[in-house]
């Protein structure tokens, strides 16, 4: 489980370099900070990563001071969003496409060898979550991308074995079953063939 301070630092670092990042051609950008002791190294900065960090931070906030710190950094991020709307939308669309391709690749790997890939689902599903988080930040998805996503969702829906929430229980507040149904099941070790 990542802590509030982990996500807050990521958002703060992102807010500081957001303009340069938005005006670059890159989808991922070095964030340049160390993770708190005992926590995993930070991923590169991305709009999807920031959206995920925001959702987690809002669940993990505990004190009024933390509320104020988070609110301040989110206001800075939103200010950059408003100032660079076109760049933001283009970068979000590009990342959404990249995440969708990564998600598709994982599902193809799973279909080819379920036993070697079923246990990666808890991790890999973060890509599908980021696609959902980015969807509200793009003007619209291209029709081909929408069709691919519907196809991937249909595949997951067919195979998913219902279970409890697959991430840390406290994050369930940020990711309810509707619309994040794919966080409430696991892929089976074997695919039944008819």
pLDDT (tens digit per residue) in 29-47: 999 999 999 999 999 999 9
Q: What is the largest CA-CA distance in the chain?
A: 57
- 42 sits in the region (left: phi over 0; alpha: psi -120 to 50; else beta) called beta
Q: Is the pTM of this model over 0.85?
A: yes
Domain endpoint, select from 51, 83, 115: 83
108 & 176 share domain: yes
What is the span of the domain harbouring residue 167? Answer: 88-186
Of the residues 54, 83, 112, the one at which a domain ends:
83
My answer on whether 106 and 178 are in the same domain is yes
Q: What is the per-residue pLDDT across 58-97, written as a single tens digit (0 to 9) for each?
A: 999 999 999 999 999 999 999 999 999 999 999 999 999 9
Name the phi and psi angles at 124, rounded to 5.
-65, -25
Residue 145: its pLDDT value, please? Answer: 87
The pLDDT of residue 193 is 61
- Tens of pLDDT along 121-165? 999 999 999 999 999 898 777 888 889 999 999 999 999 999 999
Is the domain of 107 the same as that of 174? Answer: yes
For residues 74 and 113, state if they share a domain: no
Q: Which residues pair with 185 in a beta bridge?
A: 162
Residue 14 in domain: yes
State whether 40 and 61 are in the same domain.
yes
Residue at 18 is within a domain: yes
Residue range 104-132: average pLDDT? 97
Q: How many domains does the chain have?
A: 2
Residues 148 and 173 placed together within one structural domain of the fold = yes
**Do 144 and 170 have their domain in common?**
yes
The residue out of 16, 50, 83 marking a domain boundary is: 83
Phi-psi region of 38 (alpha: psi -120 to 50; beta: other; left: phi over 0): left
Q: Are residues 96 and 64 in the same domain?
A: no
Q: Looking at the structure, tell me whether residues 165 and 97 fall in a common domain.
A: yes
């Amino acid at each position: 489980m990542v802590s509030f301070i982990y996500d807050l630092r990521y958002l703060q670092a992102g807010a500081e370099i957001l303009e340069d990042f938005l005006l670059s051609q890159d989808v991922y950008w070095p964030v340049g900070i160390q993770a708190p002791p005992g926590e995993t190294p930070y991923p590169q900065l991305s709009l999807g990563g920031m959206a995920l960090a925001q959702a987690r931070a809002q669940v993990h906030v505990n004190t009024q001071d933390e509320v104020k710190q988070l609110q301040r950094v989110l206001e800075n991020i939103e200010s950059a969003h408003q100032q660079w709307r076109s760049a933001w939308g283009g970068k979000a669309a590009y990342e959404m496409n990249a995440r969708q391709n990564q998600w598709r690749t994982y599902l193809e790997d799973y279909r080819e060898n379920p036993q070697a890939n079923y246990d990666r689902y808890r991790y890999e599903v973060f890509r599908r979550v980021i696609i959902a988080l980015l969807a509200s930040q793009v003007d619209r998805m291209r029709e081909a991308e929408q069709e691919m996503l519907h196809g991937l969702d249909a595949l997951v829906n067919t195979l998913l074995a219902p279970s409890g929430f697959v991430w840390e229980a406290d994050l369930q507040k940020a990711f309810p079953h509707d619309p994040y149904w794919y966080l409430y099941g696991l892929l089976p070790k074997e695919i039944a063939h008819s």
